[in-house]
Amino acid sequence: MKKRYLVLQDGTIFEGYAFGADKCTVGELIFSTNVVGYIETLTDPCYYGQIIVQTFPMMGNYGIIESDFIGEAKLSGYVVREYCDYPSNFRCEYDLDTFLKNNGIPAIYGVDTREITTIIRDKGTMNAALCDEIPADMAALESYRVVDAVKNTSAKEVSVFNPKGDIKGEIAVLDMGSSKNIEIALMDKGYKVTVLPYDTKAEDILNTGAKALLVTEGPGNPEEVANTAAEIAKLSGKIAILGIGLGHQLMAMAHGAEIIKLHHGHHGGNQPSKVVGTARTLITSQNFGYAVDADTLKCGEVTHKNMNDGVCEGIKYSEKEFSVQFTPSEEWIADTLIELA
């Protein structure tokens, strides 16, 4: 039971015990409200450069199942109240500690995650360090910024995926650093999928011959990839476009809107999003720290708002161009893209 410390940017220190990788790390500290699905959380590239605090008290009880991975582990650190080192599930392949060690991710357990979450909720997202000794110099912690998040998680080259049977149509995916399940869902429905890096030019997207484009979710500050928003602007009216997560923010930027950084972000699978103009509220999966400033929208209609803070979570620009901030199911995304195409 080796001691490990979680040191917050405001000077608060939590003492716990080490598991995962035997290293120190600095990252942006956020909390996730997921009750289950820690495998998906750990392999979601949208957590690039962040230290995740799980609000649910126990993690690891059903172990690690690699077929449930949705991408590569890009988080910087992991914080839990307790972890289960003897998982029980017929699909389990190995335990959480082994996964973290294999991926070079340090973690801490035995800390009061309720108090940590309250601090983030009240004071906002802040930097933190996971270390085995309390640092004498806080300069590295205070100066840390998540940079090049999309660059380090997006596809590095163009990839084409063909369905097993006849090709019903073609759809392009502009990969901003997303999970990899949408390609499978589209191929299962008979569609050819072309996955493109984040910095692909508008002309090259149109040259794929695809009838619809998905701009995916991804990590980091959308202002870092403003050039991508400029390319999306060139595509408006020329191809059907669906934006998800970061893609939602980039589409808004393409139409002249501004982006704001949220106080503590939305992270978890139980976020309420109201369908504007109705009595319907969706319980959605979300993972973002930035949002569209609805007051700066120059066109389009806001279709969804977060029930907790009123943040804009959906915009419709036309029948062939709209976006949502939350992450719908792969089935919904695939069906919507097919309908647009």
Tell me: the pLDDT tens digits for 115-125?
999 999 999 99
CB atoms within 10 A of CB 150: 24
Domains of the chain: 3-143 (3.50.30.20), 159-340 (3.40.50.880)
| CA pair distance 335, 191, nearest whole angstrom | 11
Whether the pLDDT of residue 169 is over 90: the answer is yes
What are the distances in angstroms from CA 294 to CA 20, 258, 260, 330?
41, 8, 10, 26
Q: What is the pLDDT of residue 25?
A: 95
Beta strands in 47-153 (DSSP E): 50-54, 58-59, 77-79, 82-83, 106-109, 126-131
Name the DSSP letter for residue 236.
Answer: T
Whether the pLDDT of residue 181 is over 90: the answer is no
What are the structure tokens assigned to 228, written together?
């991508």
Whether the pLDDT of residue 199 is over 80: the answer is yes
Measured distance between the N- and C-terminal CA atoms of the chain, rounded to whole angstroms: 56
- Provide the pLDDT confidence category of residue 258 given band limits of 50, 70 and 90: very high
Bridge-based pairing of strands 77-79 and 50-54 is parallel
Chain-centroid distance, C-alpha 78: 16
| CA pair distance 113, 24, nearest whole angstrom | 19
What are the distances in angstroms from CA 92 to CA 86, 157, 292?
10, 33, 40
What are the structure tokens assigned to 229, written together?
């928003």
- The amino acid that residue 170 corresponds to is E
Q: Among residues of the chain, what percentage have pLDDT more than 70? A: 100
What are the distances in angstroms from CA 230 to CA 44, 148, 209, 277?
26, 18, 20, 31
Whether the pLDDT of residue 317 is over 80: the answer is yes
| Average pLDDT, integer, range 185-197 | 95
* Cβ(33)–Cβ(125) below 8 Å: no
Q: What is the pLDDT of residue 331?
A: 92
Lowest mean pLDDT among 160-164, 179-183, 229-233: 179-183
| CA pair distance 38, 64, nearest whole angstrom | 9
The model carries a pTM of: 0.94
What are the structure tokens assigned to 47, written together?
């957590």
| Average pLDDT, integer, range 311-327 | 97
| CA pair distance 5, 14, nearest whole angstrom | 6
Name the DSSP letter for residue 157.
Answer: S
* Cβ(208)–Cβ(194) below 8 Å: yes
Give residues with Cβ within 8 angstroms of 97, minimum separation 6. 19, 20, 60, 83, 85, 107
| Average pLDDT, integer, range 106-117 | 98
Lowest mean pLDDT among 121-125, 136-140, 264-268: 136-140
Give residues with Cβ within 8 angstroms of 332, minimum separation 6. none
Q: What is the pLDDT of residue 179?
A: 72
pLDDT digits (tens, 9 = 90+) for 56-78: 999 999 999 999 999 999 999 99
- Provide the pLDDT confidence category of residue 309 given band limits of 50, 70 and 90: very high
Beta strands in 197-252 (DSSP E): 212-215, 240-244
Which of 216, 317, 316, 321 is closest to 275 using CA atoms?
A: 316
What are the distances in angstroms from CA 271 to CA 227, 235, 281, 286?
30, 31, 10, 7
Q: What is the pLDDT of residue 207?
A: 96
